[in-house]
Structure 1
């Protein structure tokens, strides 16, 4: 019996190790994509989004063909929601990369990762999910972290000289990315598990490609990037897609709540990468704000994991 129990526990432990490892790889990949974006000379978020969308479409098409998935659902409302979700996901990615042009990588990643806490509030409002007092307090704590990162002049008058229009624009863009990510997750929850993830990602791809071409064309800024930027854009697209694949693998091997905890280490990776490669040290208030957001995300997710485990134990006893 002991030998049999060990054999049963071994795959479970292996899955946890694999899930943890791939979650770390996903977090690192996304932080690395942000770092690479900093090195672009003339290209912007439009070109990066286009490359990512095209690459993702090429990768997903064989998978959809193999699974014989229907690109269009029978319900018109579901198709509309999938397109809207794709557009929101594209905007989230576009806002995030655009914010990196204005503020340090660590600040952009920290503000964007506040979506982990925001999801609970939006789920409570939109999906009527239960919201506890602790979740409310952690949301307030996240807001405090955002304030420390943004450093508004009416609260930090002695730092007013450091505040620029670029900082304000960057914070607003990264927070818009967080809001879009939050809405995107709420939409996915609303759709449920009946829609395969590949369908959702494919809609993201074609919507992203159209958006990335239409926006610069409307502004008259549509152009082919220089060779150096083209190589970096291709690398960013590959790294971003790898991060997406790593996340999917981790979710297949480990519980979603624990995966989210590890994914929030993207904040730490971003702070380290900008220090090592960009030689940029965050201000004390920015560092404290980033760590508060990270702490809130981890505590909130761990609380949800504990609540689910307790519920499962009670169900099994009954």
Structure 2
């Protein structure tokens, strides 16, 4: 075979094989990107689960502190500790704690919404059994799904709507209003009933505020480091909580190492939960991510029974089960839709 023929043969084989190699390499590259994305989402879901443990532990310390301090003071203590550690974290990571100018207004909104939700949630914890307050507050995923569909354009189907309505039935079972479930006639009982319903309403509005915070974090995306979110949340809380305490409550000076320790642990566990939460929200899809936070309900029931000796009745258990099942169903449905859209 001549050199010319040999060269032609090589070119023919080269021309036939090169496109195949290119397609194969492209397929491998595409699969690698998909695998990396899946790994990132799994890590994000793990972070969300750890955030649930951190926040449920925080709620336990809030409940224990609530016998000595008003709710706004507990929020203030948390915000001071959280801001301190987050600023140290930003310094260690060499991150600007104020974030990029383009996202600062969103960071402020996230901090304000989170602060209002936190204040309302802490108040409900001090007035209600830990499990009841936590269950109502964790209607947040349902509100997040609704808000995400309006702001982020995420799908909100008829299935999601049915689950959301079912969640409200669960709230009714947890709150047990006397005009539906009956109750005593004395005035004192009526006052206790209104206090309980007000605490339930605070937890409900707090859940709505948490939804605003979650969706804002998703909108910012990677535009801000998760530690910057923690800084803004802490700073805004440190400003808002003293104002609320001035108008609605009276500050109490801590006495002894136990009370100082409780307030410190509230802030420390909140800081840990915040770090995992913001990082998880940036890495995991909103639906599956908020689904992992439902572990907080499980932890709350365990802490309430094993540590606080708060034993829920059949209505609370039924309501909690409905809320957890429906929000879980919404999360699973969004996972299915998210994976289907990728295909």
- One fold, TM greater than 0.5? yes
Cα-Cα RMSD: 3.1
| Cross-structure match for 2:53 | 28
Kept in 1: contact 2:123–2:202 (CA 8 A):
yes
Structure 2 unmatched runs, 5+: 1-31
| Cross-structure match for 1:69 | 96
| Cross-structure match for 2:201 | 172
Residues 1:118 and 2:143 aligned together = yes
Q: Secondary structure at the match of 1:101?
A: helix
Structure 1 unmatched runs, 5+: 1-7, 314-318
Kept in 2: contact 1:47–1:233 (CA 8 A):
no
Distance 1:197 1:152, change over 3 A: same
107-116 vs 279-288, greater mean Cα deviation:
279-288
Instruction: Specify which of 83, 100, 114 is matched with residue 89 of structure 1.
Output: 114
Residues 1:261 and 2:291 aligned together = yes
Kept in 2: contact 1:103–1:166 (CA 8 A):
no
Instruction: Specify which of 104, 107, 110 is matched with residue 129 of structure 2.
Output: 104
Instruction: Specify which of 250, 271, 280 is matched with residue 241 of structure 1.
Output: 271
Kept in 2: contact 1:102–1:169 (CA 8 A):
no
CA distance in 2, matches of 1:218, 1:312: 51
| Cross-structure match for 1:57 | 83
**Rg larger in structure:** 2
* 1:92-114 Cα distance to aligned partner (Å, 9 max, x none): 11111110111111110000000
| Cross-structure match for 1:210 | 239
Distance 1:146 1:62, change over 3 A: same
Kept in 1: contact 2:87–2:97 (CA 8 A):
no
Report the CA distance between 1:15 and its aligned residue.
7.3
Distance 1:266 1:183, change over 3 A: same
Instruction: Specify which of 281, 285, 296 is matched with residue 326 of structure 2.
Output: 296
| Cross-structure match for 1:4 | none
Report the CA distance between 1:24 and its aligned residue.
3.4
Kept in 2: contact 1:105–1:271 (CA 8 A):
yes
Kept in 2: contact 1:24–1:262 (CA 8 A):
yes
TM-score between both structures, scaled by the size of structure 2: 0.77
CA distance in 1, matches of 2:144, 2:39: 30
CA distance in 2, matches of 1:309, 1:136: 21
Distance 1:218 1:260, change over 3 A: closer
| Cross-structure match for 1:5 | none
Distance 1:18 1:118, change over 3 A: closer
Report the CA distance between 1:180 and its aligned residue.
0.7
CA distance in 2, matches of 1:179, 1:222: 27
TM-score between both structures, scaled by the size of structure 1: 0.83
Kept in 2: contact 1:213–1:222 (CA 8 A):
no
CA distance in 2, matches of 1:220, 1:142: 32
* 1:40-89 Cα distance to aligned partner (Å, 9 max, x none): 232122222222222222222244344443726545xx544432321211
Q: Secondary structure at the match of 2:131?
A: helix
Distance 1:260 1:127, change over 3 A: closer
| Cross-structure match for 1:140 | 165
Kept in 1: contact 2:85–2:271 (CA 8 A):
no
* 1:232-268 Cα distance to aligned partner (Å, 9 max, x none): 0101111121222333565677655434322201111
* 1:192-245 Cα distance to aligned partner (Å, 9 max, x none): 432333333222111111122233245572342222322101011111212223
| Cross-structure match for 1:282 | 312
Kept in 2: contact 1:149–1:286 (CA 8 A):
yes
Kept in 2: contact 1:46–1:94 (CA 8 A):
yes
Report the CA distance between 1:184 and its aligned residue.
1.7
Instruction: Specify which of 162, 182, 190 is matched with residue 211 of structure 2.
Output: 182
92-101 vs 10-19, greater mean Cα deviation:
10-19
Number of corresponding residues: 305
Distance 1:59 1:113, change over 3 A: same
| Cross-structure match for 1:43 | 69
